[in-house]
Amino acid sequence: MALSGTSPPTIRVRLFARYAELLGTEALELPAAGLATAGDVLARVRALPGGGGVGASTLLAVNLKQAGPDSRVSPGDEVAVLPPLAGG
């Protein structure tokens, strides 16, 4: 309890397929400060080492639902940065 009270609020970021390879990880915890929208999260990811190859208008999801860049995000949310889909 004390630990969760003192740790800074974060937003969990999930990366997949080519984007996970570019960033070298499948999950990140970003400090939530300054991250108001899913688009803010995408911009933060694109600024990370290896993030330049992430599409500026790529698909996003917030808490398992596809979401536009203007979708609001809050600490504790899971934001997924999705490469172009290729199922089927």
Partner 1 sequence: MLTRDPIHLEALLSRVVGPARGAVTSFAGLVRDHHEGRAVTGLEYTAYEAMAEAVCGELIAETESKWPVRVALSHRLGRLVVGDVAVAIAVAGEHRDEAFAACRHLIEELKRRVPIWKRERYDDGTEVWVDPTTQAAPVSEEREGLIPW
Q: Contact residues for partner 1 (CB under 8 A)?
A: 14, 16-18, 21, 59, 61, 64-66, 80, 82-88
Sign of the dihedral through C-alpha 66, 11, 27, 24: positive
Q: Kindly tell me which of 31 and 76 has the beta carbon lying closer to partner 1.
A: 76
Min CB(48)–partner 1 separation in Å? 19
Nearer to partner 1, 49 or 88 (CB): 88
**Smaller CB separation from partner 1, 66 or 74:** 66
49-71: b (≥16 Cβ within 10 Å) or e = eebeebeeeeebbbeeeebeeeb
CB of 11 to partner 1, least distance (A): 16
DSSP 33: T
We find the least distance from the C-beta atom of residue 69 to partner 1, in angstroms, to be 17
The alpha carbons of the chain give a radius of gyration, in whole angstroms, of 13
